[in-house]
Structure 1
Amino acid sequence: MPVEIFMVVGFLLAAYSVVANDSIQTLGTFLSSNSHRPWWVLWMFGSSILLVVLLYGWFVNDGDAAYGRLDAFPLPPGGVSWIHVIPPLALLVLTRLGVPVSTTFLVLTLFAVTGGAPGNLGSMLIKSALGYVVAFTTAIILFLLVFKRLSEYFHRTREAQIPSYWVVLQWASTGFLWSQWLIQDLANIFVYLPREVPGSWLLFGILALVAMQGYIFYQFGGEIQKIVTSKTDTTDIRAATIIDFIYGMVLLVFKEASDMPMSTTWVFLGILAGREFALSTFLADTDARATTRKVLSDAGKAFAGLVVSIVLAFGMPWLAQTLFG
């Protein structure tokens, strides 16, 4: 089978997996708090930002749609092969099971190994772990010291009519977060294409991503969305606005720190975990032990995804060598 076929299949599988898994971790609170709106309105909003980010990055970076995130990830000497299609396929299965696995580790680790740069795994792991710690700590500090009274007020008035200006604030914070997430995670999709993406491939990618995003929006998030809605008051547009802004700021800081890809999933889980722990200290109807169980469950799933990523990254080349020499 020609290399181009594997590129297309890998790209499409990775695109759907990333849209269905990681993007919901970015847009999940937005979908939760806007579930009363037509899905296509939300889809048009998200797709317009996707289009701007992709085109801007492609033009400014001389055809690099991944914003330099793939500079340390050369294409394998033999090109994209069947083994590179396996990680996004595994990600599809894990997504259907509602596992918040990191697409960064699952997809990019194999390219790092087959491209002759296995050390990138350690760099991604360190940056991602630091991202979790920073997100977790930031959320705890902000929700305990800055947003405590505000969170209590949101919780008390969660059934009340919300002022319309919160809608504007939330859509603005979501747009900011969505753009920062795309800059980080587009590498997980475009890793299957040439590092300088031809215009025809870019058009193909845009059409595929917009269509897939429409399907996910139509489903209002699918299985991964349950992780978001299980957290305290995430369907409240005001709480969602604050979560999105914090998430976006953390991603912005790490984007400026280095071009090495990181797991946005770990940042996402860190923010939700820190917020849940903070809320459990002052909201009467939240249980600290239940919060701990939820946080550990999410972390356990993310760790399981990391293990799968490492096994695939080092096991698939060995399997290919064993079977085909």
Structure 2
Amino acid sequence: MEILILYTGFLLAAYAVIGNDVIQTLGTFISSNNKTHWTSLWGFAGIILSATLIFGWYMYDGDVSYQRLNSITLPETLKWWHLIAPLALLIITRLGIPVSTTFMILSVFSSQQFIEKMILKSVYGYGISVITAFLIYLLIAQRLESKASLENVHKTNQKRFWIVAQWLSTAFLWSQWLIQDFANIYVFLPRRLSIWELLGSLVVILSIMAYIFKNRGGKIQEMVNQKVNTRNIRSATIIDLFYGVILFIYGNYNAIPMSTTWTFIGILAGREIAINYLLNKGKLKSSYQLIAKDFAKVSLGLAISISIVYLIQLIKTF
């Protein structure tokens, strides 16, 4: 029974985490390459994922979480209620709500003090992302995000450059996101994987990714498509690069897991405000409404996550 719960938990967590979080890193990549066949995009992302996973497994003696799970032990006995969190996350993902998978999945196995550390790091990440994106886009929006400048991207020489730049920035961002979120996917499995467990889990994850790519991101993708110019290859490249740099610097500051969802929403929010302030002042009100809507969604996700943790704690007392 325990083995069944362990592998069921992994399957649910893998599908829910990838379905909910993958759009944070690959959403703009999918939008701006909507004419490219999904198998090419999936193959590219799959190679990066495989390399990142195998590298972590090799460097950290079988620990694919890059030591993010060092302070989160796998219980000696898994109970049915451990599946509540990934199952709830799966349902929420299907509804298109960008919930924080870090809070939802890891909190079930964490102490209250560690949960507080994860929340604090994530909230700071959101604030840093908003401020950084706003300040940077104040400097570059008129040059790189105006209608006239974006039309120049369609010139053959510039388009080739930005195609290469986007795929490189996506590879960098995707690897940094994976380092953060492998912990959410693998929390149900042993902290040290055998070679067969590694390869088996890799096949499962790549299969789930194929489904996500074939459906062009699903519901969560709508949050990306609604933002200004996100379908443009240059805009998508810049977003990916900034997001990757923040995850690389702030996310790796320590081994405490953080919500990449909050960081992603923060970048989109700061960017949206700056672009509309400089270029589309008539749309500032609608921009604030859209950002407030996104923030309300992630806050709802956090509230649901905390509620589920308390529900599980209540069940454990019986």
Q: Report the TM-score, using the length of structure 1 for normalisation.
A: 0.94
Q: Quick check: 1:49–1:179 contact (8 Å CA) kept in 2?
A: yes
Q: For residues 59 and 23 of structure 1, what CA distance do their matches in structure 2 show?
A: 24
Give secondary structure in 2 for the equivalent of 1:233.
Answer: coil
Per the alignment, do residues 153 and 201 of structure 1 end up closer, same or farther by CA in structure 2, a change over 3 Å counting?
same
Q: For residues 31 and 152 of structure 2, what CA distance do their matches in structure 1 show?
A: 14
Task: Give structure 2 stretches of 5+ with no counterpart.
Answer: none
- Which runs of structure 2 are paired with 1:95-106 in the superposition (5 Å)? 95-106=93-104
Q: For residues 101 and 148 of structure 2, what CA distance do their matches in structure 1 show?
A: 33
1:274 aligns with 2:270: yes
Q: Quick check: 2:32–2:236 contact (8 Å CA) kept in 1?
A: yes
Q: Quick check: 1:216–1:222 contact (8 Å CA) kept in 2?
A: yes
Give secondary structure in 2 for the equivalent of 1:209.
Answer: helix
Per the alignment, do residues 286 and 187 of structure 1 end up closer, same or farther by CA in structure 2, a change over 3 Å counting?
farther
Partner of 2:60: 61
Q: For residues 298 and 255 of structure 1, what CA distance do their matches in structure 2 show?
A: 22
Give secondary structure in 1 for the equivalent of 2:159.
Answer: coil
Q: Quick check: 2:141–2:278 contact (8 Å CA) kept in 1?
A: no
Q: CA deviation at 1:285?
A: 7.1
List per-residue Cα deviations over 1:96-128 (Å, max 9, x = no partner): 11101000000001110xxxx221111001100
* Greater share of residues in helix: 2
Letter matched to residue 125 of structure 1: I
Q: For residues 136 and 86 of structure 2, what CA distance do their matches in structure 1 show?
A: 35
Q: For residues 97 and 121 of structure 2, what CA distance do their matches in structure 1 show?
A: 21
RMSD of aligned Cα (Å): 1.5
Q: Quick check: 1:155–1:233 contact (8 Å CA) kept in 2?
A: no
1:294 aligns with 2:293: no
Q: For residues 212 and 193 of structure 2, what CA distance do their matches in structure 1 show?
A: 25
1:18 aligns with 2:12: no
Q: Choose 19-28 or 260-269, whichever is displaced more.
A: 19-28
Q: How many residues align?
A: 316
Q: CA deviation at 1:256?
A: 2.6
Q: For residues 14 and 40 of structure 1, what CA distance do their matches in structure 2 show?
A: 23
Partner of 1:257: 253
Partner of 2:128: 134
List per-residue Cα deviations over 1:126-173 (Å, max 9, x = no partner): 100010011111100100023432211566528945621110000000
Per the alignment, do residues 195 and 154 of structure 1 end up closer, same or farther by CA in structure 2, a change over 3 Å counting?
farther
Give secondary structure in 2 for the equivalent of 1:164.
Answer: helix
Letter matched to residue 128 of structure 2: V
Give secondary structure in 2 for the equivalent of 1:90.
Answer: helix
Task: Give structure 1 stretches of 5+ with no counterpart.
Answer: none
Q: For residues 56 and 29 of structure 2, what CA distance do their matches in structure 1 show?
A: 24
Q: Quick check: 1:83–1:317 contact (8 Å CA) kept in 2?
A: no
